[in-house]
Amino acid sequence: MKELEVILDKNGLIVAFLFVGILTLASDVFSKKTLNGRIPGSALAIGLALWLGYLGGVFTDGEQGLADLSYFKGLSTLGGSMFRDFAIVATATGASFVLIRRSGMLGLVSLILGIGLFFGFGVAIGWLMGYRDASSLCTIGAGACTYIVGPVTGGALGASSEVIALSIGTGVVKTIAVTLLTPVLAKWIGLNSPGAAMAYGGIMGTSSGVAAGLAATDPTLVPYGAVTATFYTGLGCLVCPSLFYLILSTLLG
Amino acid sequence: MIKGLALLAACFLLGMWCGAVLGTWLGIDANVGGVGFAMVFLLLGKEYVTSKGWWNGDFGFGLEFWNKLYIPIVIAMAASLNVKSAVSAGLLAFLAGTLPVLLAFGVVKVLLKQVNPEK
pLDDT in tens, B96-114: 889 999 999 999 998 888 8
Question: Which pLDDT score is estimated for A37?
Answer: 65
A163-to-A118, A131, A191, B87 alpha-carbon distances in Å? 17, 10, 34, 16
Contacts of B12 in chain A (CB under 8 A): 85-86, 89
Question: Which pLDDT score is estimated for A200?
Answer: 94
Q: What is the DSSP string of A167-190?
A: HHHHHHHHHHHHHHHHHHHHHHHT
pLDDT tens over chain A, length 253 residues: 888 888 988 899 999 999 999 999 998 898 888 877 666 677 778 778 888 988 888 888 888 888 888 888 899 899 888 888 888 788 877 777 777 777 788 888 999 999 999 999 999 999 998 889 999 999 999 999 988 888 888 888 888 877 887 888 888 889 889 988 998 899 999 998 998 999 999 999 888 889 889 988 888 898 899 888 888 887 888 788 888 988 998 898 7
Q: Which of A53, A181, A193 sits opposite B83 (nearest CB)?
A: A53
> Residues 42 to 81 of B: which have CB under 8 A from any A CB?
42-44, 46-47, 63-64, 66-67, 69-81
Taking CA–CA distances from B62, the nearest residue in chain A reads A90
| Separation between Cα atoms, residue B1 and residue A87, nearest integer Å | 15
Rg (CA), chain A: 20
**Angle at which helices B2-25 and A81-90 cross, to 10°:** 110
* One-letter amino acid of A44: L
Q: Which of B67, B87, B109 sits opposite A54 (nearest CB)?
A: B87
Nearest to A77 by CA among A169, A34, A14: A14
What's the start-to-end Cα distance of chain B, in Å?
Answer: 38
Taking CA–CA distances from A125, the nearest residue in chain B reads B96
Q: Say if B113 is an interface residue toward chain A (CB within 8 Å).
A: yes
A123-to-A149, A206, B89 alpha-carbon distances in Å? 14, 18, 17
ipTM for this prediction: 0.84
Q: What is the DSSP string of B84-101?
A: HHHHHS-HHHHHHHHHHH
In this structure, are residues B36 and A225 in contact, taking their beta carbons and an 8 Å threshold? Answer: no
Q: Test B112 with A199 for CB contact under 8 angstroms.
A: yes
Question: Which pLDDT score is estimated for B115?
Answer: 74
pTM reported for the whole predicted model: 0.76
State the average pLDDT over residues B24-49: 81
| Separation between Cα atoms, residue B77 and residue B2, nearest integer Å | 25
**pLDDT greater at residue B89 or residue B53:** B53
pLDDT at B66 over 80: yes
A35/chain B closest Cα distance in angstroms: 20
Query: pLDDT-derived band of residue B117, with 50, 70 and 90 as boundaries?
Result: low
Q: Test B100 with A118 for CB contact under 8 angstroms.
A: yes
- Give, in degrees to the nearest 5, the angle at Cα A199 between A243 and A205: 50
* One-letter amino acid of B30: A
